[in-house]
């Protein structure tokens, strides 16, 4: 007799977790805190679920997802837009916490998203630091733009803030680098990635901390995960332009900046970009293709634990 498959959906909010279980149609709520989550993990462990599905909710899901992962339960965190599009496709237009958790359980049952490796506590800290660095960079850019059009009466104040932000960004880079060095596994990945011309510390740290799947998926899946795989936009006889969308925006942004550097300094990416431009491709299309190629190269390097070799990348 085959084992019954059980799918769990958890709708996460700041203070509570709404849980739905299929096909038994169980449902309950519990608090989203360090006291009640272990009890939830124990209860779900007794059910031996096939898959547990949560939405990414800006970090609110980290505590419960980490606890489920530590208990070796199969948990996957999905993009909220995917879950909402799925609900609409199923004709579920209403939206409440109780409905949302059932939609997530149904999403797991019908679509079977593949569980991804979860970040451990140190990796969560690295992601927090990386997010803070991005915030500092945004503030620095805004102040630099503001400086050029500001009256003399406040230019000194703005420049002082710019100087402070530059120091904080430098300090944050040092902190991130130190965290990488403290982990032998991350240090090995960082050294492999940094051996590629065009891959600097920001892109390397972004990939190590924000893309733990790198090296564990094939080139097609990793490209979709990051959001650099052109997707079809066709309907009937209409054939639309393929375009990239979705994926992890922060990783894609870091990859974009790294690719611009690689187009200048990496012989393989530089030659690939030149061929695309010579073939009449728009610069934006060529850059996107280079992002895809660079990511494919990095994925293969991590998978095979091999440093950069331009002969293997052509």
Q: Which domains does the chain have, with CATH numbers?
A: 7-111 (3.30.420.40), 121-182 (1.20.58), 188-314 (no CATH)
Question: Could you tell me which residues are beta bridge partners of residue 30?
Answer: 17
Q: Among 17-21, 24-28, 66-70, 216-220, which is the least confidently predicted range?
A: 66-70
- Using alpha carbons, select from 248, 246, 247, 261 the residue that is nearest to residue 294: 261
Instruction: Tell me the C-alpha distance between 158 and 34, whole Å.
Output: 42
Q: What is the mean pLDDT of the chain?
A: 85
**Range scoring the smallest mean pLDDT among 54-58, 120-124, 130-134:** 120-124
C-alpha dihedral sign at 201, 205, 206, 211: positive
- Which range (106-110, 112-116, 142-146) has the least confidence? 112-116
What Cα–Cα distance (Å) separates residue 149 from each residue in 139, 142, 143?
16, 12, 10
Please tell me the distance from the alpha carbon of residue 165 to that of residue 160, in angstroms, as a whole number. Answer: 9
Is the per-residue pLDDT at 58 higher than 80?
Answer: no
């Amino acid at each position: 007799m085959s084992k019954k498959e059980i799918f769990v959906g958890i709708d996460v909010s700041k203070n509570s977790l709404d849980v739905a279980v299929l096909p038994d149609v169980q449902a309950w709520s519990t608090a989203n805190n360090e006291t009640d989550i272990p009890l939830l993990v124990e209860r779900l462990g007794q059910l031996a679920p096939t898959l547990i599905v949560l939405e990414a909710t800006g970090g609110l899901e980290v505590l419960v997802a980490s606890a489920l992962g530590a208990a070796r339960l199969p948990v996957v965190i999905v993009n909220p837009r995917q879950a909402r599009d799925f609900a609409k496709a199923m004709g579920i237009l209403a939206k409440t916490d109780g409905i949302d958790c059932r939609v997530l359980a149904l999403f797991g049952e019908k679509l079977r998203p593949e569980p991804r490796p979860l970040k451990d506590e140190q990796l969560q800290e690295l992601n927090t630091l990386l997010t803070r660095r991005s915030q500092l960079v945004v503030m620095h850019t805004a102040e630099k733009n503001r400086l050029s059009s500001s009256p003399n009466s406040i230019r000194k104040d703005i420049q002082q803030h710019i100087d402070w932000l530059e120091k904080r960004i430098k300090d944050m880079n040092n902190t991130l680098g130190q965290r990488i060095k403290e982990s032998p596994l991350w240090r090995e990945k960082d050294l492999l990635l940094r051996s590629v011309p065009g891959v600097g510390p920001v892109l390397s740290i972004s990939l190590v901390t924000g893309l733990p799947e790198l090296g564990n998926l094939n080139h097609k899946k990793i490209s979709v995960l990051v959001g650099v795989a052109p997707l079809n936009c066709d309907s009937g006889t209409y054939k639309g332009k393929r375009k990239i969308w979705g994926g992890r925006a922060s990783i894609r942004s870091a990859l974009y900046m790294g690719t611009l550097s690689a187009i200048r300094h990496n012989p393989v990416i530089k030659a690939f970009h030149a061929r695309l431009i010579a073939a009449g491709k728009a610069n934006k299309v060529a850059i996107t293709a280079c992002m895809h190629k660079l990511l494919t190269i990095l994925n293969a390097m991590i998978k095979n634990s091999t440093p950069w070799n331009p002969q293997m990348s052509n």
